[in-house]
Amino acid sequence: MMAVLQRVSEARVVIEGLVAGEIGPGLLVLVCAERGDTVEQGDKLLAKLLKLRIFSDEAGKMNHSVQNLDGQGTVGGLLIVSQFTLAADTSSGNRPGFTDAAAPAEGRRLYDHFVAQARRAHPIVQTGQFGADMKVHLVNDGPVTIPLRVSAVPLSQ
């Protein structure tokens, strides 16, 4: 699985003119499931993004995670948005191909699992709507934008 994280001052998702999800300071998480991805990969991706130290400390150094934005226990929000276009293949021609993206039913299953796990692990989780035409509004803080990709989890021997 893969994600693009954007550190935001605020972000929201609008669907058909209505706000579907909205956060203040935190992370906008654009997440994509690819063919062959597993729930274990989603769990690993979530664990990584929750601990990633990309929020500034008092010295301006990226030293805090979304779970502790300011070093004083302030928790940031997660706005999780499905984004199959992250799997775009642009290696030939001018029109991207999306054959590497998980099939819609599998993508939804993995996205739903990712969101459910995020809600178990983090107190502020908002979402878009899988498969919807969404308008994503954000104020990128920094700007800080970080791609994450989690490879297949090795099987136990």
Active site residue 83: yes
One DSSP character per residue, 87-156 reads G-B-SSSSS-B-TTBPPHHHHHHHHHHHHHHHHHH-S-EEE--TTS--EEEEEEEEEEEEEEE-PPPPPP
Q: Among 41, 55, 84, 126, which one carries the catalytic annotation?
A: 84
Residue type, 145: T
Contacts of 21 (CB under 8 A, 6+ apart): 12, 13, 79, 80, 81, 126, 127, 128
Catalytic residue among 6, 41, 83, 126: 83
Query: Active-site residue 129, yes or no?
Result: no
CA angle, 15 as apex, 51 and 139 as ends, to 5°?
Answer: 45
Indicate if 114 belongs to the active site: no
Q: Which helix (H) or strand (E) holds 69?
A: none
What is the distance between the alpha carbons of residues 91 and 102, in angstroms, rounded to a whole number? 19
Residues labelled catalytic: 83-85
